[in-house]
Structure 1
Amino acid sequence: MTIKLVIGGFTVHVCSAYVPQVGLGEEKKRTFLEVLDEVLRGVPSSKKLLIGGDFNGHIGHLPISYNDVHGGFGFGDRNNEGTALLDFARAFGLVVVNSSFPKKEEHLVTFYNEEEKRRFWEFLDEVVQGVPSSKKIFIGGDFNGHIRSMPLGYEDVLGGFGFGVRNDEGISILDFARDFGLVVVNSNFLKKEDHLATFRSRLAKS
């Protein structure tokens, strides 16, 4: 499933994705990529496409045979999940945008402890404040939090189609959205049950 955004006269199809963890079985990863493949094939080739999220893989510091999709500013050693991401990007004529520019060392990875989470929000706050208020802004990705199925005090930013029990990370998302006059777009429409969560353990949704 993708969300269509009309920006400046053209349509952008936005898809949020969270690939199963490295430690999970290959069958789960293969199934995920097959579903994502099906979703993207539903987007006309003439349209612009943006995929945001976490692919749980390392694409490697250098392109090495993937110069058409890898910008040369990756991280670490390429692993199987990183290779799968690069192959997927190539198959759909996409590029890994985050590899196209240099980053500070602390911005090279997306897994954080509590102190690093605080620094992440401060950094994102700084970035968003740099966007003129007259401009449209879209933040795509995985904020690793539950915003709850009902608004309950956040009717101005939450559409009422969330999931689960609200946790501290979910509150951070909602407070951040409110501070900048944003809304959680993914909470504004009904979804199939298997599309409600972006992470699944072996036993339950999270």
Structure 2
Amino acid sequence: MSESKQVSPFVFFQGWLSTWVPIVTALISLVISLYTFAVATQAPEVRLIMPDVVRIAQGGESGPYVYLQPIFVNTGQSERVEVVTSVQLRVEPVDPPGGGVDFVWDEQGTWLFDPNTQSLNWIFTADPGAFLVSANNARDFTGLFIGPKEWRFAPGVYRIHVIAQRVTARAPLAASIEVELAQADIEYLDEAQGSRFLTFPARP
């Protein structure tokens, strides 16, 4: 008769570890890889941040001007790039209420301080155009938006909306701020006829 041999629990445990640990490790690695891939390739989460100030000119022969600097930030973990194809501005009278008007993005520029006159001068830098927003690169620009020729600002409170069309989603990015123009502000802007502007603090 042959003598049966018993397998020690330690040897059995070693065999179990050598068989299942690599399998479990591979499964965990697969799950992590799939999660990382899903996060990296999902639609970018871009947020539109509105500025703290708005500069307004009443305009001469053209419509009124609004100078505004929105910021576009990718707040998600996606590595995909968002493409903003166009930016539109809409001004809506709040108090007194009235119908909103659309302003067209006309150009990009920058403000240059003139120490001799102690004033800011607008410098053209580029025409409007599409731009990219990536995870590591927020995008901002200072834009000049021109309103309808027959429309003018009047004393009151206005809500300024920025609407940005994008490639990865049908729903546009949108945000708004509120500004208030007093009677004295309007008189100054009307007299300037587009040659001078005023800076207004913006509130959410």
TM-score of the pair, normalised by structure 2: 0.22
Higher helix share: 1
TM-score of the pair, normalised by structure 1: 0.22
Higher strand share: 2
Could you say which structure has the larger radius of gyration?
2
Higher relative contact order (CA 8 A, sep 6+): 2
